[in-house]
Structure 1
Amino acid sequence: MYFNGRPLTDRKGQPIAVEAESFAVVGGRWLRDGTRIYGQGEVGPKPTVYWYVVEGADLESFKALNLRYARDKNQAYYITSKTIRTKSPAAFEIVPELRLNYRDGTRESLHDVSVIARDREAVYFFGARLEGARPIGFRDLGHGYATDGEKIWFLEEKMLVETADATTFTVPGPGEPHVQGRPSGHCVTDRYQPYVRGEPCDPKKYVDDWRPFFEARADIKDWWWHKLVKDN
C-alpha cells in the first residue's frame, strides 16, 4: 500500500499489511483500514518517515485533530506513537501556535502544525504534559513563549519563567519595533525587566535596545525602562 507515492513501511523499513479495500485517510498524518488506525512518525537527525499501528485506538470515534494530535472516545494520541491518558478525551483540543510575521505585519494562528494541546486537566507540549500549566486560557504568545494568565513559559526549553510578571509580559508583535536578543533570539519584557530565551537580562544593558519600542508605546508607563531613563 502507498501513501503520497511512498510505501507504508514500519520503523525497520518493512511493509505494513493493510486492508486495501477499506483503506482511507482519516486526516493529516493519520490513516485507517477496516481494523486499525495508522500514524506517521519520523526518526533520525535527517527524518525518515515510518508508519505504526495506533494501539488501542477506537475506529468509530477516532478523529484527527491536526498533523500531530488525534483523539477517540477513550484517549488522545501524539504522532510519535505516544498515547495520552487523558481523563477528558472529548475536551482534548489543539492550542494554536502564534507566528509573528514582521515583514508583512501579520499574526498567523497555526492550528494544523501546532505541538500544543490541552484537555480539562492539563496542557501538552510535543505530547508531554507541561507541568503546572492551567489549560483554561492557555495560549501561545509567539517566539516560543506561552501563558495561562498566571505564569509564563519558554516552551522551547519547557521552562517556567519564574520571575516573569504574567499580567504585563509582552512579546513585541508586528507593527511594533522588534528587539533582537544578544547574542541571538528575541528580546521580550515585562514591567520589571527584559528576557532573552526565557532568562532575565540586566535592564541597564538593554536601555538603548528598547528605546524605539517604549517611545512608540506611549500607553506603557512606569516600567523598568522609564525608570532607568529618568534616572539617567
Structure 2
Amino acid sequence: MYHYRERVEHADLASFEVLIGSYAQDKSKVYYGGKTIEEADRNSFQAITAGWAKDGNHAYFDGQIVDGADPQSLTLDAKNPKYAKDSTKVFYQGKMIPGMDPLGFTCLDSSFCKNGNQVLFMNQVVSDVDAASFAVDSCADEFPKPPKQMLCSEPRKTHMPGA
C-alpha cells in the first residue's frame, strides 16, 4: 500500500485511515509519510495539523518527537500554527525557541508573534521594540507612516521603529 507516494510496510489495510496530511493510522500503529512512528501511542494519538500531532506521551512535528514538549498542555497558535506552546516553552516547527516565554505568547498575523517581552518576525527577534505596545497593521497606502511601535505585515512596506 502507498500513502503520498511512500510505501507503507506492514499496515493493516482493513483499518488503515489517513488522518491529516502525512499522518495515518491503522488498528495498532501510527504512521507519518509511510513510516511507522514507533513511539506513538495509537490509542491517544491525535493529528492536529499536517505537521503537528500529539499523544499521551509526546508531541510530534512532521512525525518526529518534539524534545521537551508537554503534550498535555501543548496548544497551537490560531493565526500561525507553525508555532505551538506548552506550559513552559514556545516551539516553531517543532524546535524550541530559546528564552521565549509562553506566558502571553500569541501571533498577530502569519509573520509577527510576541509575548510580553519580545517580538518575533518570521521567527527572528526584532530588537528595539516595546513588545507591550507593539501592533501590526497592513499599512495600506492611506497610512503614510506607521506609529513608532507598529510594523507592517507586508514585507515590501515594512517600517522598522525609528525609521
Does residue 38 of structure 1 match 2:31? yes
3-state SS of paired residue (2:14) = helix
State the number of aligned residues.
Answer: 157
Tell me if the contact between 2:77 and 2:107 (Cα under 8 Å) persists in the aligned partners: yes
Q: 1:188 to 1:128 in 2, by over 3 A?
A: farther
What amino acid is aligned across from residue 89 of structure 1 in structure 2? Answer: P
Does residue 171 of structure 1 match 2:153? no
Does residue 117 of structure 1 match 2:110? no
- Deviation of residue 126 (structure 1)? 1.1
Counting only pairs closer than 5 Å after superposition, residues 111-190 of structure 1 correspond to structure 2 as 114-155=81-122, 158-173=123-138, 177-178=139-140, 190=148
* Alignment deviations for residues 168-205 of structure 1 (CA, whole Å, 9 cap, x no partner): 212114xxx426xxxxxxx97544x86796884652xx
Unaligned runs of 5+ in 2: none
Q: Distance in 2 between matches of 1:31 and 1:151?
A: 37
Tell me if the contact between 2:45 and 2:53 (Cα under 8 Å) persists in the aligned partners: yes
Considering only aligned residues, what root-mean-square deviation do their CA atoms show, in Å?
2.8
Q: Distance in 1 between matches of 2:43 and 2:17?
A: 13
Does residue 56 of structure 1 match 2:42? no
**Structure 1 match to 2:52:** 69
What amino acid is aligned across from residue 22 of structure 1 in structure 2? Answer: S
What is the TM-score with the length of structure 1 in the denominator? 0.58
Q: Distance in 2 between matches of 1:200 and 1:94?
A: 28
- Deviation of residue 36 (structure 1)? 1.7
Larger Rg belongs to: 1
Aligned-residue identity in percent? 23
Picking from 26, 33, 39, the partner of 2:19 is 26
- Deviation of residue 143 (structure 1)? 5.0
Q: 1:36 to 1:88 in 2, by over 3 A?
A: same
Unaligned runs of 5+ in 1: 10-14, 41-50, 99-113, 180-186, 204-232
**Structure 2 match to 1:82:** 64
What is the TM-score with the length of structure 2 in the denominator? 0.79
